[in-house]
Structure 1
Amino acid sequence: MASILALLPLFFSAFSQGNALSLNYYTKTCPDVEYVVAQVVREATMKDKTVPAALLRMHFHDCFIRGCDGSVLLYSKGGNKAEKDGPPNVSLHAFYVIESAKKAVEAKCPGIVSCADILALAARDAVVQTGGPTWDVPKGRKDGRTSKASETRQLPAPTFNISQLQQSFSQRGLSMEDLVALSGGHTLGFSHCSSFQNRIHNFNSTHDIDPTLHPSLAASLKSICPIKNMAKNAGTNMDPSSTTFDNTYYKLILQKKSLFSSDQALLTIPKTKDLVLKYASSKEAFNTAFVNSMIKMSSITGGQEGRKVCKVVN
């Protein structure tokens, strides 16, 4: 607890609504920015169906460290190990999509649009490309100049229980409603064994397998992720429709077939359980909640500049 309390000043100084965001921020200076970014995301998705999940996760991981400031895009340099090389982020990919979008935007309106805004737009476009809802993205974020791998330990872990999740989200001004809605992003993508290994091997002193995990799924996961001789990139899709943005994630939680401890933890208190039930029964309710929470999360700001190239500071 002491270490968590010691981090609180960092959280409150790093996360703010300080940069005023606006839906019309680039109307006069770069009116085509949204079209340009969407086109790049669309073309990348046509070539690689894993791109949308990667972009959505990248944006989430960016916003949860120092606010949505594009710091996750910076490369390690010299003695500084950047966020993208921190343990929770080594599996992030599709950085090239943001670089391509930045290059295309710079060709239209040089020196205007931040990398943080491009990432926020790309995350929205990723959801749209997979059949999810669209929304108007507030713009005007600045890019951060600091990126430290050591700070990625602040990201909510897949092993978190409900109280740890609540603390992580509340430190960023996000509610329990936001927690459940944003967790729905797990409907997209792929997970490596390391993220759910705790549930299928040596779970605790009395159970080898997490008793809240459905036996058939546990058997399947154990065959994919044996303790020994595990393939380097072994893992499984987040859900059977892992390239489609839908509410299957919540249905799987109710069936005890979600991958992460943090997913199943949403059933452990009445408030979050009620929301899981609501979103499992109504895709529309989930879409509405997800949009509201994405706008709220992506409005956490914290940068200082507009980068010319997303992977290096000016």
Structure 2
Amino acid sequence: MATLKMSISWFFFLQILFSLLSSFAPTNVQGLKVGFYDKSCPKAELIVKKSVFDAMKKDPTLGAPLLRMFFHDCFVRGCEGSVLLELKNKKDEKNAVPNLSLRGFEIIDNAKAALEKECPGIVSCSDVLALVARDAMVALNVPSWGVETGRRDGRVTNINEVTSNLPSPFDNITSLITQFRSKGLGKKDLVVLSGGHTIGIGHCPQITNRLYNFTGKRDSDPNLDTEYAASLRKKCKPTDTTTALEMDPGSFKTFDASYFKLVSQRRGLFQSDAALLDNQETKSYVLKQTKSYGSTFFKDFGVSMVNMGRIGVLTGRTGEVRKKCRMVN
């Protein structure tokens, strides 16, 4: 009898333990999973990949804005496609200042149109956006990662929610850590995703204060390498609002770990780049990738992209699956 009681107790203990461990399992977070459309739309990921690869063959510089589009979507209202919506009064996220430089929306539209022909009403726009971001990086020779799908689309977009939710190129490390933490992301995610600045461009207004009036005394940011600052001043005059700048000079079309070397040399373009040296954990990661030639960066980037893709998702019966990504059903 004692043995039977012990067996029953052990059985219930294992049940409780399994339940607790399952709550932390990363394979099905908030209803998301890799291969969500394997049965309902088996060709979904291939269709999206073709749309991205066809576009990137014509314009390889689309990689950076497509990656940034996913980032901007997830940080405002969660990864639910609100950045894709358009309102007649122009009070949508697309028209917020930080999003005016986004481009590549037609790629989302083309992929969605192809999906609607293959399997109408099945694949959400928010999942298309997540897959596009991954495939744009793969087109730049970044190792692929499994994208969790199963998101549904939101019905709301608000221009006033963008600036307060997106990290700024002017942010210090405290602000950056706080903003990422508020989205469920850690310091490692912050420094890894910042590595996305290895591709793409910035513009003079984002660094003018670092060059000419950092503390209000017509000075430069002391955390900016003096030679690099001098070269930037030649390109950006105080009133310049249009000149584009490579975030990773000489390598801005190539996704690699050279960004971390630049940051370690105090040559990160933005204050938010320089800020990574102001925290021991983020600084340690920067130096590690610098010394090891980015040995873990690609793998870490895929993990952090998955983590970001879980922010505020709508699943199950919440939200909808839009027929067209620019408007609600």
**Alignment TM-score, normalising by the size of structure 2:** 0.86
Distance 2:155 2:281 in 1: 38
Q: Residue 291 in 1 paired to residue 272 in 2?
A: no
Quote the Cα distance in structure 2 between the aligned partners of 1:75 and 1:281.
Answer: 45
Flag as ranges the 4+ runs of structure 1 deviating above 3 A.
Answer: none
Does residue 85 (structure 1) correspond to residue 95 (structure 2)? The answer is yes
**Equivalent of 2:141, from 101, 124, 131?**
131
Which of 232, 246, 255 aligns to 1:221? It is 232
Deviations 1:22-60 (A, max 9, x none): 112101111111111111111111111221111100000
Whichever residue aligns with residue 236 of structure 2, its letter is C
Letter in 2 for 1:96: E
Residue range with higher mean Cα deviation, 135-144 or 190-199: 190-199
Distance (Å, rounded) in 2 between the aligned partners of 1:84 and 1:216: 36
Given the alignment of the two structures, is residue 236 of structure 1 paired with residue 245 of structure 2, yes or no? Answer: yes
Given that 2:124 and 2:321 are in contact with CA atoms closer than 8 Å, whether structure 1 keeps it comes out as yes
1:268 corresponds to: 278
Which residue type is aligned with residue 205 of structure 2?
A: S
> Over the residues paired in the alignment, what is the CA RMSD in angstroms?
1.5
Q: Which residue of 2 is the match for residue 142 of structure 1? A: 152
Q: 1:19 touches 1:140 (CA, 8 Å); kept in 2?
A: no
**Alignment match, 2:328:** 313
- Which amino acid counterpart does residue 210 of structure 1 have in structure 2? D
Which ranges in structure 1 are unaligned for 5 or more consecutive residues?
A: 1-16
* Cα distance in structure 2, aligned partners of 1:277 and 1:207: 31
CA distance in 2, matches of 1:117, 1:301: 13
Provide structure 2 residue ranges, at least 5 long, that are not aligned to the other structure.
1-27
Pairing partner for 2:215 from 193, 199, 204: 204
In the TM superposition, residue 18 of structure 1 has moved relative to its aligned partner by 7.9
- Map of 1:173 onto structure 2: 184
Query: Bigger shift: 158-167 or 219-228?
Result: 219-228
2:73 corresponding residue in structure 1? 62
Aligned length: 295
**Secondary structure at 1:284 match in 2:** coil
Q: CA deviation at 1:205?
A: 3.9
- Give yes or no for the alignment of 1:161 onto 2:176: no
The Cα of 1:284 is off from its aligned counterpart by: 2.8
What is the distance in 2 between the residues matched to 1:248 and 1:18?
Answer: 33
Query: 2:127 pairs with 100, 113, 117, which one?
Result: 117
Normalised by the size of structure 1, how large is the TM-score?
A: 0.90
**Contact 1:69 1:144 (C-alpha < 8 Å) held by counterparts:** yes
Matched, 1:21 2:36: no
- Rounded to whole Å, the distance in 1 between the matches of 2:155 and 2:313 is 10
Distance 2:131 2:92 in 1: 23
